[in-house]
Amino acid sequence: RSGVAATEFALMVPAMLMVWVGMVVAPAALTADKKVTLLTRTLADMTTQMQAVSQADMDSIFQATEAVLWPQPAERIGMRVSSFDIDGSGKVFVDWSVVPTNSALRGDFTALARCSTSNLVPVGLRTARTSIVQAEVNMRYQASVATQVVDEVFKGAASGGEMPLGDRLFMRSRQA
């Protein structure tokens, strides 16, 4: 008789853990992914509204967009904004590329070399004699609870309880 409760508990724990992951951990990860997408859109949108961009301007934008991620910590994100020029033959060159001067917001990104050719712009966006701005954001999402459960559920996609999230957005400049 005393073993029946323990057996029922052992049978129900995996199912209850999956329900818990589905109700708590997965929506939090999806929310973080949506915030990364929103942050990417905000970076591109704010940049394309400016006529000229300096490092100081971009650092202000990078700092302002930190609020988009709240309550996620900014130390887990990386941001880069680049502008590409497309010449008359459709060849793409890096016009400028910036990362935050605050290394906590840079992540793994480095600025792209100016005047170098690039294949980052999709062929469908390569309109001759135009330019396009690209915003990139990466985030190392870590579940606030049950890191071990997340590791087991997302085998191969997570490392140490972290899931890599990221987004890239191209947008045409509206002011220059």
40/35 Cα distance (integer angstroms): 9
**Residue 128, number of CB atoms within 10 A of its CB:** 10
Tell me the residue type at 91. K
User: Which pLDDT score is estimated for 156?
Assistant: 55
User: Which pLDDT score is estimated for 150?
Assistant: 59
- Given a cut of 70, the residues of the chain with pLDDT beneath it are 1, 144-161, 176
Angle at 108 between CA 107 and CA 111, to 5 degrees: 100
User: Which pLDDT score is estimated for 171?
Assistant: 92
**What pLDDT digit, counting tens, does each position of 52-65 carry?**
888 888 888 888 87
Q: What is the 3-state secondary structure (H, E, C) of the chain?
A: CHHHHHHHHHHHHHHHHHHHHHHHHHHHHHHHHHHHHHHHHHHHHHHHCCCCCCHHHHHHHHHHHHHHHCCCCHHHEEEEEEEEEECCCCCEEEEEEECCCCHHHCCCCCCCCCCCECCCCCHHHCCCCEEEEEEEEEEEEECCCCHHHHHHHCCCCCECCEEEEEEEEEECCCCC
User: Which pLDDT score is estimated for 145?
Assistant: 58
Q: What's this model's pTM, rounded to 2 decimal places? A: 0.77
User: Which pLDDT score is estimated for 60?
Assistant: 87
User: Which pLDDT score is estimated for 142?
Assistant: 77
